[in-house]
């Protein structure tokens, strides 16, 4: 490839990465320290990358460019089983089950003591349709003697009834939005306001939680 084309491609990527980082409220340096090969993704899929930047809800970052340190690094990644990396996990679509997605660890991940807790924390924010993680023999992992059954689907919110009916929140979802707000060095309501002002920059799951947090602040007033 001619040198001028390489320079032009690098300039295009740098502009895209800067714009994406700005949209997400972080620096380009922070973006590139993430667990995803954004440059590889952009260079292979510039039109899709620009669609994501424009806020299209019909496209997403594929597993292909997840790095081995990503919480849901999978066998679909170009880095899986290559360059000395372990083979990634296997996704199963359980469309008829309460927990739609299963992330099954590979034998490599089990041998290397994969950080199950980190994967579950990530899934609590990223997966809206229910999620479970199993070992390579399809058994739930155990952490400190507790079986990790995964993440239930999105919370169901019911208006407070005059007869004392309450709001029901799946236990696995409690505190996840607060944790996300803390990660961004914000209070819950401050973070909720930011998310609702920039809905296209966040996942549908986070937007739903932001709406819930905002409405919850009014229930006892």
What would the DSSP string read from start to end of 71-107?
Answer: TT-BTTSTTTT-TTPPP-BEEEE-TTSSS-EEEEPPH
Per residue, what are the HEC states of 102-127?
EEECCHHHHHCCCCHHHHHHHHHHHC
At residue 91 the predicted structure's pLDDT band, cuts being 50, 70 and 90, is very high
Query: Residue 133: which H helix or E strand, with range?
Result: strand 131-134
The residue-averaged pLDDT of 43-60 equals 82
Neighbours of 193 (CB within 10 A): 15
Domain ranges of the chain: 1-61, 70-152, 171-219
At residue 42 the predicted structure's pLDDT band, cuts being 50, 70 and 90, is very high
Query: What's the pTM value of the predicted model, to 2 decimals?
Result: 0.65
Neighbours of 43 (CB within 10 A): 15
């Amino acid at each position: 490839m001619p040198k001028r084309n390489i320079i032009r491609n690098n300039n295009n990527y740098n502009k895209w990465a800067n714009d994406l980082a700005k949209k997400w409220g972080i620096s380009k340096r922070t973006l590139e320290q993430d667990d995803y090969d954004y440059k590889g993704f952009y260079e292979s899929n510039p039109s899709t990358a620009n669609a994501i930047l424009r806020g299209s809800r019909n496209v997403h970052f594929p597993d292909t460019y997840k790095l081995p340190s990503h919480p849901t690094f999978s066998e679909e990644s170009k880095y899986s089983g290559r360059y000395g990396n372990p083979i990634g996990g296997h996704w199963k679509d359980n469309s008829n089950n309460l927990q739609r997605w299963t992330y099954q660890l590979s034998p490599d991940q089990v041998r290397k003591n994969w950080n199950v807790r980190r994967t579950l924390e990530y899934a609590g924010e990223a997966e809206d349709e229910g999620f479970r993680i199993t070992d390579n023999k399809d058994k739930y992992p155990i952490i400190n003697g507790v079986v990790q059954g995964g993440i239930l689907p999105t919370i169901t919110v019911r208006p407070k009834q005059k007869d004392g009916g309450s709001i029901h929140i799946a236990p696995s979802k409690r505190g996840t939005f607060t944790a996300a707000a803390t990660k961004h060095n914000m209070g819950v309501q401050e973070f909720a306001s930011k998310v609702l002002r920039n809905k296209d920059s966040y996942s549908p799951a986070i937007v739903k939680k932001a709406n819930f947090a905002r409405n919850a602040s009014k229930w006892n007033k």
